[in-house]
Structure 1
Amino acid sequence: MRLAIEKKIVLYSSLLVALLVNLPKLLQARSDGWVSQFSTFNVAELCFQFCFTYLYCWLVFELNLHWFPRWRKGGLATDFAIYPLSNILLLLLCSTVGIVVQGNLFSDAHHLPLRFFRVVYFARLSLCWLLEILVIRIIYLLRQAQAKDLETEQIKSQYLYAELELMKQHLNPHFFFNSLSTLSGMIRENPGKAQQFIGHLSRIFRNLLQEQQQLITLKEELQQLHSFTELLQMRFEEGIVISVEVPPLYHQQLLPHLSLQLLVENAAKHNRALASQPLQVRVYVQDNELCVKNNLQAIAVPQASAGLGLANLNERFRILLKKEITIIRTLEYFLVKLPLEGGKGGGY
């Protein structure tokens, strides 16, 4: 994309500069103009002069934007003096060639002394060079800005990857310990159910260990959440009720990976889940936001928490979607609202 933009800038700038410096030649078309006193208007000479000027402009861009970087990369241009010297040599060479060729082809069209004709020709190409140096400087500034943006994106990508890995590590280790304890009891009481439990647990481990994209569709996130909720319901049985009410219309919306599992895991971690007082967790869409809501029934001895999970989740939303999550806590419930990003086939 950057090369395509640079090519357009070079093309349009060369055409514009060539047109500007050849405006006096166009003024010769007026027979009563002051410029016509020095030379006769000739369409063929104007076309030649315009094309030659454009060629010189293109060579200046090629020299400064492409040849110099290659020389630096190959170690052929370590001395700073080679850059202005190369531009001066190109200017002198093109001026000499243009003066000789145009002077011989259109000698009858000029009433100027040869020395003055050479000075005017050299001045015209020098003006081209000055105008192009300004454009070249702008292009180099754009290159530096794009390089900084690319570096920033790489750092941001590495940061988000680290955030995701940290989130995976912070997913409650006690959950796996409790799951293994539950599995131990199931093996003795219900081997068939234990086999299902192992299948869901293995899928959760696979989702955590596999390298995932930062943004995935809501459909994929719900599929990965399914095994997690199945384990919770096998473990707590009637002590937890998890309902997912997300219309297919929103399945192609995008959100950061592991967003839902973290929120459901936090709900199970910080609240009682008893058959007499079931923990109710709802996942639904409201006002174009994905909501995860649970009733509050705090455990007697709450587990220590630094709040890093929600903070990291909010940071990932802020960077990836340029939006932030909303956290609402009342005496009755805890609610987290997640903004969604449109994906393929998605809509609101």
Structure 2
Amino acid sequence: MSLTNNQKFWLIQLAIWGGFSLFNIITRSALLGFQPFELVNALALLLALLVASVWMRSFYQSKNDTKIRSSFLYALSGSVVASILANIVIAVILYPAQILLFEQILPQSHLQILAVWPTLFLFTFCWSITYLLIKRHRTLKQIQLEKAELNTQLHHAQMELMLNQLNPHFVFNAINNIRALILENPNKARDSLTSLSEVLRSLLAVEADSEWTLDEELSLCHGFINLCKLQYEQRLQVEENIRGDTQSWIVPRMLLQLIIENAIKHGIAQHPSGGNIQIDISAQTDSLLIEVTNPGVLHNLRGGVGLRNIRTRLTLLYPSRHVIQLKQVDSMVVATIRITNKE
């Protein structure tokens, strides 16, 4: 059974101040000889320090400033008040006890209570510094956790936004093209409908922040290309050169699909006669190289929305293990992605 924070607090305070009070009795008894009234002194000191601790805890819990200077000022002011409060508690206990036991307040009691204040201030100040340092550490840790949670939520939101950017216009066109094919070529329409179903099922079956194998990504891309061919027909030709073990490589979902979509949108669609898209993949043990080549002219080295999405996703998933590059090679645009193995 785990203890609550409040239970832990009381156990620690009782252990610290109880141990100190016991040490105080032993020390005074060794130096001055044991007197029964020393038990009252020890009890008064214990209760005074416990009351001071409870007050300081309540006072500091309302202070959320984590700056060192502010924490020092809080500790200083809190310790002054707490030590005065502890002095009052000691007086409230000792004076009635002396009247009860000695039928008078001992003459030296006033000076003794005043003389103990610097010691009480020192103890409460050390307690305050320790408490505020622990509180500051926990607060900063909580802030880091909250930032991490916010970054995770942002990551999810960005991923969902990017994944939802599978062009609705593209889906609408695919459905219209399939509908037109139903009378002209039922078999092709059925195959195209299967491709559309597989593409949409793949996108909906996996969580937005997931990764999958390169084989699964290629399967998605094949379905996507088949649907694009409904619109571009013979204008769109695709060649693949795939080497290595694609099954063992894990990639961000829709990574290659976004590159191909970008190549079709900014390459094939801009040429009345269409063109050829070349997909080269080299899946080595320690790295993955993807190159997609399409006809066109590179106007922006950073690319459009599709490439920005890819760059953002790679930054989120592989912050220091990827390179993405666009370059013009003669009349072709080459998109290159290199990813280093995570392990």
TM-score, normalised to structure 2, is: 0.60
- Does 2:306 align with 1:298? no
Match of 1:230 in 2: 223
Query: Matches of 1:262 and 1:7 in 2, distance apart?
Result: 55
Deviation at 1:230, TM superposition (A): 2.1
- Does 2:305 align with 1:308? yes
CA distance 1:142–1:114, change in 2 (3 Å): same
- Does 2:254 align with 1:261? no
Match of 1:345 in 2: none
Pick from 83, 91, 96: which aligns with 2:86? 91
Deviation at 1:298, TM superposition (A): 0.6
SS in 2 for 1:293: strand
Pick from 117, 128, 136: which aligns with 1:133? 128
Deviation at 1:231, TM superposition (A): 3.5
Pick from 306, 309, 314: which aligns with 1:317? 314
TM-score, normalised to structure 1, is: 0.59
Query: Matches of 2:338 and 2:88 in 1, distance apart?
Result: 68
Query: Matches of 2:136 and 2:8 in 1, distance apart?
Result: 16
Question: Is the 8 Å Cα contact of residues 259 and 335 (structure 2) preserved in structure 1?
Answer: no
- For 2:322, the aligned partner's letter is I
Query: Matches of 2:338 and 2:161 in 1, distance apart?
Result: 22
SS in 2 for 1:336: strand
SS in 2 for 1:323: coil
- 1:189-215, CA deviations, whole angstroms, 9 ceiling, x for partnerless residues? 54244234223324434565x597453
Deviation at 1:240, TM superposition (A): 1.9
Deviation at 1:7, TM superposition (A): 8.9
Deviation at 1:130, TM superposition (A): 1.7
Question: Is the 8 Å Cα contact of residues 245 and 283 (structure 2) preserved in structure 1?
Answer: yes
Deviation at 1:327, TM superposition (A): 1.8
Match of 1:195 in 2: 190
Deviation at 1:184, TM superposition (A): 4.3
- The CA RMSD over aligned residues, in Å, is 5.5
- For 1:137, the aligned partner's letter is L
Structure 2 unpaired stretches of 5+: 64-76
Match of 1:218 in 2: 212
Pick from 219, 237, 240: which aligns with 1:239? 237
Deviation at 1:232, TM superposition (A): 1.0
| 1:1-348 aligned within 5 A | 36=31, 38=32, 55-56=50-51, 59-60=54-55, 62-64=57-59, 87=82, 91-92=86-87, 94-96=89-91, 99=94, 113-119=108-114, 121-142=116-137, 144-146=139-141, 148-149=143-144, 152-153=147-148, 155-157=150-152, 159-168=154-163, 170-172=165-167, 175-176=170-171, 179-180=174-175, 182-184=177-179, 186-205=181-200, 213-219=207-213, 223=216, 226-233=219-226, 235=229, 239-242=237-240, 243=242, 246=245, 248-251=247-250, 256-271=252-267, 279-286=277-284, 288-294=286-292, 296-299=293-296, 306-323=303-320, 325-329=322-326, 331=329, 333-338=334-339, 341=342, 348=343
Deviation at 1:326, TM superposition (A): 0.6
Question: Is the 8 Å Cα contact of residues 95 and 121 (structure 1) preserved in structure 2?
Answer: no
Question: Is the 8 Å Cα contact of residues 326 and 335 (structure 2) preserved in structure 1?
Answer: yes
Structure 1 unpaired stretches of 5+: 70-82, 342-347
Query: Matches of 1:162 and 1:173 in 2, distance apart?
Result: 18
Deviation at 1:49, TM superposition (A): 8.7
CA distance 1:13–1:176, change in 2 (3 Å): same
Query: Matches of 2:93 and 2:255 in 1, distance apart?
Result: 68
CA distance 1:197–1:96, change in 2 (3 Å): farther
- 1:197-246, CA deviations, whole angstroms, 9 ceiling, x for partnerless residues? 223324434565x5974531324x85466234224146369932455854
- 1:156-204, CA deviations, whole angstroms, 9 ceiling, x for partnerless residues? 3454345335424544566436534652454245424423422332443
CA distance 1:119–1:316, change in 2 (3 Å): farther
Deviation at 1:289, TM superposition (A): 3.9
Question: Is the 8 Å Cα contact of residues 17 and 50 (structure 2) preserved in structure 1?
Answer: no
Query: Matches of 1:283 and 1:12 in 2, distance apart?
Result: 62
Query: Matches of 1:258 and 1:4 in 2, distance apart?
Result: 46
